[in-house]
Amino acid sequence: MKLTFHGAAKTVTGSQHLLEVNGKRILLDCGLFQGKRKEAFELNRSGFGAGKDIDCLVLSHAHIDHSGNIPTLVKRGFRGDIVCTSATRDLCAVMLMDSAFIQEKDVAFANKLRRRNKQKEFEPLYTREDAVAAMDQFVGISYNRRREIVPGVHLTLVDAGHMLGSANVILDIHDQEQGRDIRLVFSGDIGRSGIPIINDPTVLSEGADILIMESTYGNRQHPPYPESEKELERIVNDTYRRGGVLLIPAFAVGRTQQLVYALHKLFLKRDIPRLPIYVDSPLATRVTDIFRLHPETYDSEIREFLLAGNHSNAFGFDTLSYTQSVEESKELNFLREPAIIISASGMMEGGRILHHLRRRIGDQKNTILVTGWQAPHTLGRKIVEGEKTVKIYGEEFPLRAKVETLTGFSGHADRDELLAWAGAMRKKPARTFVVHGEEEAATALAESMRLELNFPSVEIPEPHQSFEV
């Protein structure tokens, strides 16, 4: 039996691990590399290790760094099943389309310059047609429904508590060559306890023989979630008193819905004033519809909220509107009264948030609330670091708005939570492979797993490195 780590090895993105057993090839995730444009462009094309001769793809969750290269795999001839939860399947239907649209747009922009320089034009990595075609191969299953995916390999998906539909992947393998039964667990991304809407991560008390473990925050701690809801209340009221607009750049998937639900609860308790709230991101609006379709993934708190107050919709209330057209979005520029605008992209690198920032960033009445990690070199990072002026659409703007950050909304387990999750395993994995983390985070987590959890063998694979297991 062989494991090869084609992506998310010593980095966070591009999750892609290949398991070869019983003459079959099972791919775990097929994510897109994200990062510096040129490097990502190369990696997503040539660095794509797993060829078309894959028998089955198991997808842990819908985030693009796990799912975003599926259309490429299908384009190259993969015809097997793509097995994931039903919620992941539905999210992929909108997220892969959105990703394809970005791919097409990026290439169109680059080609304009290349045509001028008489250079060969690029093809998009994949198109919206490719994304639609890939959806044909998805097989949505529920959590905890064991299913044979190739002869001798049974798959169970359990709730990872990281985003809607996210799963830890459990493979119970009868290795015919060596005549043994082993359990392989692939963590996918692990969530945190107490975050709203979705369940807490599942405790895998039985353990595993082989573990592939994420390490995004292997060296960091987050404040507990309830504190962040309190902070949100303070920030809304503070901006309201200053007569300003609260601008929240947020990831369209997960973060926006968490914020909307948190604001809904604060509004019902009258902890925040009655003020207009706008969700101004077409992708976030489509994703919110999918959240409504999957109450089977909700935790008990949101179920009680829906039952107790007789609310049919956790993501809608009378002061909240989802804007659709570009015109509606631009009309928000004329708002003079206090309001909340939630818009994408989360790192402020594109999307409608940019025109809102242009309009609001120069006025100290307003607040920019950052709720997610900001990659180096992004506009979001510059704003968090408090640069005096920032460039938006090539134009300089003074940063006078108040900047606040909330890290407790993270969907990722922090260091202690990762160790608690792995440490709950009664059977300690004989081999652990630490993936999905920058080198520092992966090294710190691997060290803690050896020293604090006494895991016997913890390795950090290099990109494309193979292991006989």
Residues 6+ apart with CB under 8 A from 25: 18, 19, 50, 53, 54, 55
Closer to Zn ion by Cβ: residue 130 or 189? 189
Q: Which of residues 60-79 bind Zn ion (CB under 5 A)?
A: 63, 65
Main-chain phi, psi angles of 328, to 5 degrees = -60, -40
Alpha-carbon distance values, 2 to 212, 405, 469 (Å): 13, 43, 6
**Helix H or strand E segment including 174:** strand 167-175
Q: Are 358 and 393 in contact (CB under 8 A)?
A: yes
Q: Measure the CA–CA gap between 28 and 21, rounded to whole angstroms.
A: 13
Contact region with Zn ion (CB under 5 A), list: 188-196, 249-257, 299-307, 313-321: 188-196
Q: Measure the CA–CA gap between 225 and 92, rounded to whole angstroms.
A: 27
Q: Is 29 in the site for Zn ion (CB under 5 A)?
A: no
Q: Is 159 in the site for Zn ion (CB under 5 A)?
A: no
Contact region with Zn ion (CB under 5 A), list: 55-63, 103-111, 134-142, 170-178: 55-63
Q: How far is the CB of 68 from Zn ion (least distance, A)?
A: 10
Q: How far is the CB of 80 from Zn ion (least distance, A)?
A: 23
Closer to Zn ion by Cβ: residue 16 or 281? 16
Q: How far is the CB of 61 from Zn ion (least distance, A)?
A: 6
Q: How far is the CB of 409 from Zn ion (least distance, A)?
A: 14
How many Cβ atoms are within 10 Å of 367's Cβ, its own excluded?
22
Q: Is 402 in the site for Zn ion (CB under 5 A)?
A: no
Closer to Zn ion by Cβ: residue 39 or 452? 39
Q: Is 231 in the site for Zn ion (CB under 5 A)?
A: no
DSSP-derived pairing of the beta strands 458-459 and 431-435: parallel
Contact region with Zn ion (CB under 5 A), list: 186-194, 234-242, 338-346, 441-449: 186-194
Q: Measure the CA–CA gap between 319 and 338, rounded to whole angstroms.
A: 12
| Packed helices 86-116 and 128-135: angle between N→C axes, nearest 10 degrees | 160
Q: Is 404 in the site for Zn ion (CB under 5 A)?
A: no
Q: Is 189 in the site for Zn ion (CB under 5 A)?
A: yes
Closer to Zn ion by Cβ: residue 65 or 130? 65
**Helix H or strand E segment including 11:** none
Q: Any long-range contacts for 326-330 (C-beta under 8 Å, 24+ apart)?
A: 329/280, 329/355, 330/355
Q: How far is the CB of 187 from Zn ion (least distance, A)?
A: 10
Binding site for Zn ion (CB under 5 A): 63, 65, 189
